[in-house]
């Protein structure tokens, strides 16, 4: 089989309350990707629309968006795997292209989370767990990740300060990202100031500052087979490895709370397919919905041994100048987390890094990048490895 490349990437600004419709929101990421790829809508053979449907008032938004974006009568698909929807969309696009069904596919992720209230949003997030055996007891995303944090602390001696250091790093780069929803500086001292909102408790040991920001946003990836990629694009970024896994929806069915089995399994698949190891990764985007999630990702992806993720952040090895730069666009913690758009945004960041077009957050001469995107509380895992 020939190679599959990404020839265009786009993303809207991630904002709190987008004033337009989901059509207009999706168009922002799509327009940027199409301008980046320098192609016409008639060059696209199919589209994959990705979001979490609980937030969409429009039933089956794929057809509505495809029409608005000028992608009919080509086939369109609607795909969701919670927060990893657009990474799974890229995997699906890869399969459609390698099968020979399509030469060029657009992967469009979006979420307008402000369409519902905060209370409704929390209720829907709770329904990401098993609605028979867990969510009726009031489980919410922060509570689940708080259990992960408590387990990691109990086994490895990780501290709240270690987690806060991850948020400080996110804010360091979020300030430099014009598309980020949270662009304010964060210091370690803020987490110990009782009157500071970031220090407000959410679910012990997690505080407000340990949690990502909900947002409205869209992302778009234009994916093509090798022939079309070379025809349309001077600097295609190639898909080297793809890994995907799922786990028991109930936390009681998990073997461990100090990491995510889906991340380890999907990373192993992606490394094997790409023929690389964790030491070959030059820059990474990981799913930091909470600070503990980034800490676990360091270890699940093999950047650190179990329990030693805290050493990476303490020594700033995951900063732009470090051994393994991670989330130098601010991550979900500062950039924001519009569920369906998140994976595509992460992939966009790595594509720009590999093309040397990341501006202030550019890592020095990266050749291989990795994206780690998790759906739910470790229910779905996707790892994507990209190369120049």
Task: List residues with catalytic annotation.
Answer: 83, 337
14/215 Cα distance (integer angstroms):
6
Q: How far is CA 183 from the centre of its chain?
A: 18
Q: Residues 373, 242, 291, CA angle at the centre, nearest 5°?
A: 20
Beta-sheet pairing, 76-79 with 46-50: parallel
6/233 Cα distance (integer angstroms):
9
Structure tokens at 213: 């920001």
358/329 Cα distance (integer angstroms):
9
DSSP assigned state of 199: G
Structure tokens at 279: 């030491």
108/220 Cα distance (integer angstroms):
4
Strand order in 216-225's β-sheet? Answer: 76-79, 46-50, 104-112, 216-225, 4-11, 237-246, 380-387, 368-375, 283-285
Closest to 165 measured CA to CA, from 295, 256, 344: 295
Torsion of CA 244, 374, 176, 222, to 10 degrees: 40
Torsion of CA 180, 205, 166, 148, to 10 degrees: -100
332/297 Cα distance (integer angstroms):
13
356/362 Cα distance (integer angstroms):
7
Q: Where are the beta strands (DSSP E) in 144-210?
A: 201-203, 206-207
35/90 Cα distance (integer angstroms):
19
CB 109, CB 343: distance < 8 Å: yes
Q: Residues 206, 87, 24, CA angle at the centre, nearest 5°?
A: 90
């Amino acid at each position: 089989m020939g190679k599959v490349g990404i020839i265009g990437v786009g993303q809207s600004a991630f904002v709190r309350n987008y004033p337009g419709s989901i059509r207009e929101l999706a168009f922002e990421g799509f327009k940027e990707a199409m301008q980046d790829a320098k192609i016409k809508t008639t060059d696209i053979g199919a589209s994959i629309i990705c979001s979490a449907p609980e937030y969409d008032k429009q039933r089956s938004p794929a057809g509505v968006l495809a029409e608005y974006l000028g992608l009919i009568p080509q086939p369109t698909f609607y795909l969701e795997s919670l927060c990893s929807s657009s990474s799974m969309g890229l995997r699906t696009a890869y399969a459609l292209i390698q099968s020979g069904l399509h030469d060029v596919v657009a992967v469009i992720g979006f979420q307008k989370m402000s369409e519902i209230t905060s209370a409704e949003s929390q209720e829907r997030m709770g329904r990401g767990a098993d609605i028979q055996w867990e969510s009726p007891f009031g489980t919410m995303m922060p509570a689940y990740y708080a259990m992960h944090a408590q387990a990691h602390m109990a086994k490895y001696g990780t501290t709240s300060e270690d987690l806060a250091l991850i948020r400080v790093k996110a804010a360091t780069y979020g300030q430099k990202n014009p598309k980020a929803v949270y662009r304010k500086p964060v210091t370690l001292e803020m987490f110990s100031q009782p009157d500071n909102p970031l220090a407000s408790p959410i679910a012990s040991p997690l505080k407000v500052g340990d949690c990502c920001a909900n947002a409205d946003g869209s992302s778009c990836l234009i994916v093509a087979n090798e022939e079309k990629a070379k025809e349309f694009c001077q600097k295609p970024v190639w898909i080297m490895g793809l890994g995907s896994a799922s786990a028991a929806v109930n936390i009681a069915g998990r073997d461990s709370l100090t990491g995510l089995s889906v991340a380890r399994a999907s990373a192993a698949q992606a490394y094997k397919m790409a023929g690389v190891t964790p030491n070959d990764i030059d820059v990474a985007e990981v799913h930091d919905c909470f600070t503990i999630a980034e800490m676990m990702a360091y270890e699940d992806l093999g950047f650190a041994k179990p329990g030693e993720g805290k050493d990476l952040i303490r020594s700033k090895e995951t900063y732009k100048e470090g051994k393994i730069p991670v989330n130098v666009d601010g991550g979900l913690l500062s950039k924001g987390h519009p569920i369906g758009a998140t994976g595509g945004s992460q992939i966009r960041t790595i594509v720009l890094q590999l093309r040397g077009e990341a501006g202030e957050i550019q890592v020095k001469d990266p050749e291989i990048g990795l994206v780690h995107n998790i759906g739910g509380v470790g229910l779905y895992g996707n790892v994507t490895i990209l190369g120049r």
